[in-house]
Amino acid sequence: MGMSSSPLLRIWKALLLLQFVTGALGWGKEGHYAVCKIAESSLQFQAYLNEDATAAVKELLPEYADGDLASLCSWADTMNFRYHWSSALHYVDTPDFFCNYDFARDCHDSSGHRYACVTAAIYNYTDQLKSEYHNPGAVTNYNLTEALLFLSHFVGDVHQPLHVGFLGDLGGNTIIVHWYTRKANLHHVWDTSIIESAMKDFYNSDLTTMINSIQSNITDNELPLWGDCEGNQTVCPNVFASESISLACKYAYRNATPGSTLTDDYFLSRLPIVEERVAQAGVCLAATLNRVFASKVQIAESRR
């Protein structure tokens, strides 16, 4: 992501970016990369998170990922065509103008199929990974590499405020605004535009610099606050979804009616929200993977 690339390389990168933009269903590629990168560094460097999870993640990653979960953090977005059923798993919508989230009421797809939503998907893939590690050697029908990649992606998605938006505007997808001089839909602004503008304006167009800055901002108090789940649950996606719709109402939808032009006022006041949600998602993913894979150690020890 350096600035010194050749013109051809830059065109190629722009095309690549465009491809993600048009197919965007989650945070953009940068946002997801940042979430997984923060999770990985937390896994490696924070005493709070353990080595077993790092080892288990490396074992599950395909060889071409070269041990880097972040490189495949947008894998789930590329699977929407092949696994058509998975495209409903990136979000959950609330009834129009409801600024709260209710699993029983909201977790379904547009045809009303229950549990086809991001929070159920997070439970699903957490359970798949966990059950395998509770019953090592048991034959499962699940591809745990895919479970890991889906989980890592959906934990990111559920933290994007407009992935828990209103049904009527499809989480901001049908709200057409101008992002500075360019036409964009509000959902895309939150997936991608805010992060891209921040990279350009504040981080020398370098994603790594932005990630480092977000990560070094995380305090020791925030780690347990963002990583722990009440009552020792392995994962608590309903909490993240509630936070997201609340932020969507307070920040994303506010002053962003159809046809409005969003500039510095909107950008500068919303950027801290985006950066905090990316940080929270990264910490949350690391803590979740830690709990998922820690069960293996506990079970193995209790059998000795």
Ligand X SMILES: *[C@@H]1O[C@H](CO)[C@@H](O)[C@H](O)[C@H]1NC(C)=O
Query: Is residue 233 close enough to count as binding ligand X by CB under 6 A?
Result: no
Rounded Cα gap, residues 95 and 101, in angstroms: 9
Query: Is residue 30 close enough to count as binding ligand X by CB under 6 A?
Result: no
Query: Is residue 231 close enough to count as binding ligand X by CB under 6 A?
Result: yes
Question: Minimum CB separation from ligand X for residue 7, in Å?
Answer: 31
Given the rule CB under 6 A, which of 31-39, 53-61, 213-221, 283-291 is the region that contacts ligand X? 213-221
**Rounded to the nearest 5 degrees, what angle is found at the Cα of 116, between the Cα atoms of 251 and 93?**
20
Query: Is residue 140 close enough to count as binding ligand X by CB under 6 A?
Result: no
Residue 182 has φ and ψ, to the nearest 5°, of -100, 145
Given the rule CB under 6 A, which of 31-39, 42-50, 90-98, 120-128 is the region that contacts ligand X? 120-128
Question: Minimum CB separation from ligand X for residue 32, in Å?
Answer: 16
The one among 66, 232, 259, 304 contacting ligand X by CB under 6 A: 232
Q: By rule CB under 6 A, what count of residues binds ligand X?
A: 18
184 forms beta bridges with: 177
The one among 44, 110, 140, 143 contacting ligand X by CB under 6 A: 143
Amino acid at 84: H
Long-range contacts of the stretch 46-54 (C-beta < 8 A, 24+): 46/223, 46/286, 48/223, 48/224, 48/227, 48/287, 49/227, 49/286, 49/287, 49/290, 50/290, 50/293, 50/294, 52/290, 52/293, 52/294, 52/296, 52/297, 53/286, 53/289, 53/290, 53/292, 53/293, 53/294
Given the rule CB under 6 A, which of 19-27, 117-125, 237-245, 247-255 is the region that contacts ligand X? 117-125
Rounded Cα gap, residues 156 and 288, in angstroms: 12
8 Å CB contact between 153 and 285: no
8 Å CB contact between 152 and 285: yes
Residues in Cβ contact with 169 at an 8 Å cutoff, skipping those fewer than 6 apart: 96, 175, 186
Query: Is residue 206 close enough to count as binding ligand X by CB under 6 A?
Result: no
Tell me whether residue 2 or residue 272 sits nearer to ligand X (CB atom). Answer: 272
Question: Minimum CB separation from ligand X for residue 248, in Å?
Answer: 19
Tell me whether residue 181 or residue 232 sits nearer to ligand X (CB atom). Answer: 232
The one among 41, 87, 124, 209 contacting ligand X by CB under 6 A: 124
The one among 19, 110, 140, 217 contacting ligand X by CB under 6 A: 217
Rounded Cα gap, residues 210 and 202, in angstroms: 8
DSSP-assigned letter for residue 84 = G
The one among 44, 85, 268, 299 contacting ligand X by CB under 6 A: 85
Query: Is residue 25 close enough to count as binding ligand X by CB under 6 A?
Result: no
Q: Give which of 273, 267, 261, 265 is closest to 175, Cα–Cα.
A: 261
Query: Is residue 115 close enough to count as binding ligand X by CB under 6 A?
Result: yes
Query: Is residue 41 close enough to count as binding ligand X by CB under 6 A?
Result: no
Question: Minimum CB separation from ligand X for residue 10, in Å?
Answer: 26
Query: Is residue 272 close enough to count as binding ligand X by CB under 6 A?
Result: yes
Tell me whether residue 176 or residue 239 sits nearer to ligand X (CB atom). Answer: 239
Its sign, for the CA torsion 126, 131, 137, 140, is negative
Residues that bind ligand X (CB under 6 A): 62, 85, 89, 115, 120-121, 124, 142-143, 145-146, 213-214, 217, 231-232, 272, 275
